[in-house]
C-alpha cells in the first residue's frame, strides 16, 4: 500500500518536460526539444499541438484563463489574463487556445518603465513565450513565462537580457571546455541557488504602520531593549505560527516544482530564510519571483505581513538574497570543481582566474546590479557585506594562485596542518577546501561563488546578467589565446601562464579578512578598489563606455537599452525617496506631532508639586524642543526635495537627493526615535519595534 506524503503533489502545477512527452505527439515533442536547445525554430503546427495539450491540462486543473507571465523593468512580475472561452461563428461558446496565443501576446506597454525607449502614447508591446521555462498554474490561471519587448524590438524586461547572457557565457565556456579536450560538451549552463531572507510581523501591526505599507521599511522607530545580541533567534526553534506558515509555503512551492530545501530562523528577531536547490539561472530567477509572491500571500493566511525590504528595521540585520553562481556542462561537470585529473585542475584554475579578472574589471557593474534604494541601508551593516567588491577564495586556493606568481613560494610553504597535500604539477586540489567568510560580498564556497550583496526585494536577474556577461567576456579572451594550440601539454602550459598573468594583475581583488573593519576600507582604498556608497552613484556605470562595449560585443544589451535601464533606475530611485519623504511628513503631521502635543497637554494637567520637579521640567522642555525641531525638519525636507527636483538630469537629481535630502530625513528620524523612548503608550499608539519584532 502506497503511503501518501506531502511530496506526492510535487510539480503537479507545472507543465514540464515529462508532461510534454506524455501528452504531445512524439514528432512535436522532439521539435520542441530542438527549439529549446536552440537548434531550430518552432513551427506553427508544433505550436498548435503544444497549445492544445497545454489547454487540456490547464482545464483539467480548473483553469479558466491564461496569461503571458513576464518581468518588466519594475523588478516584479506582470500578467494580463485572457479567458479560454470565446464565441464561434454562430455566437456559441468555444474553448480555444491556439499556438499563436501561446507564442505571442500583446499587453499594453505604455505604463511600464521604458527609460525613453518609447513614448507614453506608444502603447504596443509584445510578449513571447520562453519555451525554456515551463508553464505553470497559479490561482486557476495558466501562466506562460515570457519575454517582453517593444514594438521596435528592444528589451523591456528582465528575462530577455538574462537569456542572452546565459547564451553568451555558455558559448564562451564551451570554447574553453572543448579546448581542454571535452569535445562532446555543447552547452554550459549558469546554475543559480537563491537564498531568500525575509521578516514576518503580525498583520495588525503592519496595517497600523503606514511607512511599512507604503515604503517597505520603518522610517522611524527606537530600537527595542533587546535585539540580536544573544544570537538566540538564529537557528532557534521555529515559532508554531511561523512553522504553519512555512508548511503552506513549502506545499505551494513543491506543487510548482520548486525544490524548497532549507528553512530556518535568521539572525535578527522575526527574520527567516528559505533556500531552494540549484537550477539553471533562468529557471532560478523565475522561481524566486514565484517564491516572493507565495511568501507574501501565504503570510496573510496566517495573520502575518511578509517584509522583503532590505532593511525594514534599523539597528538589526537586513535581508539579502544570496546568489550562489556556478557553471555546469551538459554532461554534469561543475567547472568550479577541481576534478581528479591534472588537466581538470588546470581548467579549474583557469575558470577561477577568469572569474577573478571579471570581478576586478567590472566591480562597479556588480555593485549596481546587486542593489537598489533599499540596499543602501543594508550594505556594510549588521553582517551584510560591505559595498566594496572583493573575492574570498579560502586559504588553499589563494595560496595556490599566489604561488604561481611568487617564485619564493614552494610546496613546502603550505602549512603542515592544511588539508591540502603539497602539489606537483597541480595534480590534485581538494574540493572542500575553504571555510566561509560571511563578510565577503563574493565568496568561493567549494564549487560555486556566493554573491551576498544582492538585495532581498530585487529581481536577481540583473546580478546574473552581469555575472554571465563579464565571465563570458573574459572566457572569450582566454579562448582566443588557447585555440591555436594543438597539444594538451602546450594548452596546459599556456593556461598556467594566463593564470599567472591574471593573478599578478588582479590579486588586489582577493581579500580574506574582516570586510566589516575600518582597516579594510583604508586597505581597499590603497589597492584602488572602488567604494561606491550609494546605489544611485553606481547607476552611471551602466552607460560607461566600457560597459556599453562589454554588453554590445556580447550581444546582451544595445546601447539604447543600457541608456534606458540607467534612466529607469534613476527614476525608480527618485520616486522611492519621494514616497519616503511624503510618507514621513504625512506621519509626522497626522500621527507624531499630534501625539507629542497630546503628551504636553497630559503633562500640563499634573499637580503643581509634580510640575516643580526637575524631571518634569526637563521632559516638558525636551518635548517642546522636539516638536519645533521636527516641524522645522519636515519643512526643510519638502524644500530641499523640491530644490533637487529642479535638476534636469535624472542622475544628478538622484545624487543630490542622496547627499542633501536623506541626511535631513535621518536627522528627523532621530528626533522621533529619541522621543519614542519617553512617550507614554496612551499617547504614542503606533506599533514599536519591541511589539513588531517579539510578538508572534
Give the mean pLDDT of 451-470: 96
Q: Are residues 45 and 109 in the same domain?
A: yes
In a domain, 320, yes or no: yes
Among the ranges given (314-328, 401-415, 448-462, 650-664), the one the predictor scored with the smallest mean pLDDT: 401-415
Q: Are residues 485 and 356 in the same domain?
A: yes
Q: Are residues 327 and 441 in the same domain?
A: yes
In a domain, 378, yes or no: yes
Residue 455 DSSP code? B
- Residues 460, 285 contacting (CB under 8 angstroms): yes
- Looking at per-residue pLDDT, the higher value among 550 and 617 belongs to 550
- Residues 355, 449 contacting (CB under 8 angstroms): yes
- Looking at per-residue pLDDT, the higher value among 419 and 664 belongs to 664
**Domain ends where: 157, 184, 208?**
157
Q: Are residues 251 and 290 in the same domain?
A: yes
Question: Number of structural domains, the chain?
Answer: 3
In a domain, 113, yes or no: yes
**Domain ends where: 508, 536, 557?**
557
- Cα distances (angstroms) measured from residue 153 to each of 163, 190, 433, 548, 560: 15, 26, 47, 19, 11
In a domain, 1, yes or no: no
CATH of the domain at 191: 3.30.590.10
Q: Are residues 414 and 489 in the same domain?
A: yes
Residue 141 DSSP code? E
pLDDT 10s digits, 271-329 = 999 999 999 999 999 999 999 999 999 999 999 999 999 999 999 999 999 999 999 99
Side-chain-side CA neighbours of 251 within 13 Å: the count stands at 9
Q: Of the candidates 631, 565, 557, which has an alpha carbon nearest to the alpha carbon of residue 592?
A: 631
In a domain, 453, yes or no: yes
- Cα distances (angstroms) measured from residue 117 to each of 74, 151, 181, 539, 561: 15, 10, 45, 18, 7
Q: Check residue 661 and give its pLDDT.
A: 97
**Confidence grade of residue 75 (pLDDT, cut at 50, 70, 90):** confident
Q: Are residues 372 and 488 in the same domain?
A: yes
Please report the sign of the dihedral spanned by the C-alpha atoms of residue 367, residue 373, residue 376, residue 377. negative
- Residues 668, 631 contacting (CB under 8 angstroms): no
**Domain ends where: 526, 557, 588?**
557
CATH of the domain at 67: 3.10.20.70
Q: Report the alpha-carbon distance of residue 658 to residue 377 in Å, rounded.
A: 12
For residue 234, is pLDDT > 70?
Answer: yes
Angle, vertex CA 576, rays to CA 573 and CA 581, nearest 5: 125
pLDDT 10s digits, 259-276 = 999 999 999 999 999 999
Q: Check residue 361 and give its pLDDT.
A: 97
Q: Report the alpha-carbon distance of residue 176 to residue 482 in Å, rounded.
A: 8
Q: Are residues 137 and 245 in the same domain?
A: no
Range of the domain at 511: 165-557
In a domain, 666, yes or no: yes
Q: Report the alpha-carbon distance of residue 589 to residue 672 in Å, rounded.
A: 12
CATH of the domain at 579: 1.20.120.1560
In a domain, 7, yes or no: no
Q: Are residues 307 and 353 in the same domain?
A: yes
Cβ neighbours, 10 Å, residue 545: 8
Q: What is the dihedral of CA 396, 402, 403, 408, to 10 degrees?
A: -130
pLDDT 10s digits, 82-125 = 999 988 888 888 899 999 999 999 887 677 878 777 665 566 78
3-state secondary structure of 135: strand
Q: Are residues 615 and 688 in the same domain?
A: yes
For residue 342, is pLDDT > 60?
Answer: no
In a domain, 2, yes or no: no
**Confidence grade of residue 432 (pLDDT, cut at 50, 70, 90):** low
Q: Are residues 585 and 624 in the same domain?
A: yes
- Cα distances (angstroms) measured from residue 165 to each of 141, 174, 177, 464: 30, 14, 18, 8
Q: Check residue 34 and give its pLDDT.
A: 87
- Looking at per-residue pLDDT, the higher value among 161 and 437 belongs to 161
For residue 2, is pLDDT > 70?
Answer: no
Side-chain-side CA neighbours of 47 within 13 Å: the count stands at 17
- Residues 160, 283 contacting (CB under 8 angstroms): no
Q: Report the alpha-carbon distance of residue 53 to residue 565 in Å, rounded.
A: 38
pLDDT 10s digits, 382-431 = 456 778 999 999 888 888 888 888 755 433 333 334 333 334 444 445 55
For residue 435, is pLDDT > 70?
Answer: no
Q: Of the candidates 548, 571, 573, which has an alpha carbon nearest to the alpha carbon of residue 561?
A: 548
Q: Are residues 54 and 193 in the same domain?
A: no
Q: Check residue 272 and give its pLDDT.
A: 96
Q: Are residues 458 and 545 in the same domain?
A: yes
Q: Of the candidates 577, 563, 580, 583, which has an alpha carbon nearest to the alpha carbon of residue 656?
A: 577
pLDDT 10s digits, 9-59 = 999 999 999 999 999 999 999 999 888 877 778 889 999 999 999 999 999
Amino acid at each position: 500500500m502506497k503511503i501518501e506524503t506531502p511530496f506526492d503533489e510535487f510539480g503537479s502545477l507545472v507543465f514540464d518536460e515529462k508532461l510534454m512527452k506524455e501528452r504531445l505527439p512524439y514528432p512535436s515533442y522532439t521539435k520542441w526539444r530542438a527549439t529549446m536547445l536552440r537548434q531550430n525554430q518552432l513551427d506553427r503546427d508544433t505550436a498548435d499541438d503544444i497549445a492544445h495539450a497545454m489547454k487540456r491540462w490547464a482545464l483539467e486543473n480548473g483553469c479558466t484563463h491564461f496569461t503571458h507571465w513576464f518581468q518588466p523593468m519594475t523588478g516584479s512580475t506582470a500578467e494580463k489574463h485572457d479567458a479560454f472561452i470565446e464565441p464561434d461563428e454562430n455566437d456559441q461558446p468555444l474553448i480555444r487556445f491556439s499556438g499563436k496565443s501561446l507564442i505571442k501576446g500583446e499587453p499594453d506597454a505604455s505604463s511600464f518603465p521604458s527609460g525613453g525607449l518609447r513614448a507614453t502614447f506608444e502603447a504596443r508591446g509584445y510578449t513571447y513565450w520562453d519555451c525554456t521555462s515551463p508553464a505553470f498554474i497559479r490561482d486557476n490561471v495558466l501562466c506562460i513565462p515570457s519575454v517582453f519587448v517593444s514594438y521596435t524590438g528592444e528589451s523591456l524586461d528582465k528575462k530577455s537580457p538574462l537569456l542572452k547572457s546565459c547564451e553568451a557565457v555558455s558559448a564562451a565556456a564551451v570554447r574553453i571546455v572543448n579546448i581542454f579536450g571535452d569535445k562532446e560538451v555543447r552547452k554550459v549552463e549558469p546554475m543559480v541557488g537563491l537564498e531568500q531572507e525575509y521578516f514576518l510581523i503580525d498583520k495588525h501591526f503592519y496595517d497600523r504602520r503606514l511607512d511599512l505599507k507604503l515604503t517597505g521599511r520603518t522610517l522611524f522607530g527606537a530600537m527595542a531593549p533587546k535585539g540580536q545580541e544573544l544570537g538566540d533567534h538564529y537557528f532557534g526553534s521555529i515559532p508554531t505560527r511561523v512553522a504553519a506558515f512555512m508548511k503552506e509555503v513549502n506545499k505551494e512551492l513543491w506543487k510548482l516544482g520548486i525544490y524548497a530545501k532549507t528553512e530556518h530562523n535568521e539572525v535578527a528577531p522575526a527574520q527567516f530564510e528559505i533556500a531552494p536547490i540549484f537550477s539553471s539561472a533562468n529557471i532560478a530567477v523565475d522561481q524566486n519571483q514565484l517564491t516572493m509572491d507565495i511568501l507574501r500571500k501565504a503570510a496573510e493566511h496566517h495573520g502575518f505581513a511578509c517584509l522583503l525590504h532590505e532593511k525594514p528595521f534599523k539597528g538589526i540585520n537586513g535581508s539579502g538574497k544570496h546568489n550562489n553562481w556556478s557553471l555546469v556542462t551538459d554532461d554534469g561537470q561543475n567547472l568550479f570543481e577541481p576534478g581528479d585529473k591534472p588537466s581538470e585542475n588546470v581548467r579549474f584554475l583557469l575558470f577561477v582566474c577568469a572569474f577573478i579578472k571579471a570581478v576586478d574589471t567590472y566591480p562597479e557593474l556588480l555593485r549596481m546590479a546587486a542593489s537598489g534604494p533599499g540596499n543602501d541601508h543594508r550594505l556594510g551593516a549588521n553582517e551584510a557585506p560591505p559595498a566594496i567588491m572583493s573575492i574570498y577564495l579560502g586559504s588553499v586556493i589563494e595560496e595556490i594562485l599566489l604561488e604561481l606568481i611568487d617564485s619564493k613560494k614552494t610546496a613546502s610553504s603550505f602549512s603542515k596542518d592544511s588539508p591540502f597535500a603539497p602539489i606537483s604539477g597541480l595534480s590534485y586540489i581538494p574540493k572542500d577546501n575553504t571555510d566561509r567568510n560571511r563578510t565577503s560580498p563574493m565568496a568561493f564556497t567549494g564549487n560555486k561563488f556566493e554573491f551576498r550583496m544582492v538585495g532581498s526585494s530585487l529581481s536577481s536577474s540583473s546580478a546574473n546578467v552581469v555575472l554571465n556577461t563579464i565571465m563570458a567576456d573574459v572566457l572569450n579572451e582566454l579562448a582566443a589565446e588557447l585555440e591555436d594550440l594543438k597539444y594538451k601539454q602546450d594548452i596546459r602550459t599556456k593556461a598556467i601562464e594566463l593564470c599567472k598573468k591574471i593573478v599578478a594583475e588582479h590579486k588586489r581583488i582577493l581579500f580574506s579578512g574582516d570586510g566589516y573593519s575600518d582597516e579594510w576600507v583604508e586597505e581597499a582604498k590603497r589597492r584602488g578598489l572602488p567604494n561606491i556608497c550609494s546605489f544611485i552613484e553606481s547607476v552611471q556605470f551602466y552607460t560607461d563606455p566600457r560597459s556599453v562595449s562589454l554588453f554590445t560585443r556580447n550581444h546582451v544589451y544595445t546601447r539604447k537599452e543600457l541608456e534606458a535601464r540607467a534612466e529607469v533606475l534613476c527614476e525608480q530611485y527618485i520616486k522611492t525617496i519621494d514616497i519616503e519623504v511624503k510618507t514621513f511628513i504625512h506621519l509626522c503631521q497626522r500621527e507624531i506631532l499630534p501625539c507629542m502635543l497630546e503628551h504636553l497637554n497630559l503633562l500640563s494637567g499634573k499637580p503643581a508639586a509634580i510640575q516643580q520637579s526637575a524631571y518634569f521640567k526637563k521632559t516638558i522642555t525636551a518635548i517642546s524642543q522636539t516638536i519645533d525641531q521636527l516641524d522645522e525638519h519636515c519643512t526643510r525636507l519638502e524644500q530641499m526635495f523640491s530644490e533637487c527636483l529642479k535638476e534636469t538630469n535624472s542622475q544628478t537629481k538622484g545624487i543630490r537627493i542622496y547627499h542633501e535630502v536623506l541626511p535631513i530625513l535621518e536627522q528627523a528620524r532621530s528626533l522621533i526615535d529619541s522621543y519614542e523612548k519617553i512617550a507614554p503608550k496612551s499617547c504614542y499608539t503606533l506599533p514599536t519595534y519591541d511589539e513588531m519584532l517579539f510578538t508572534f
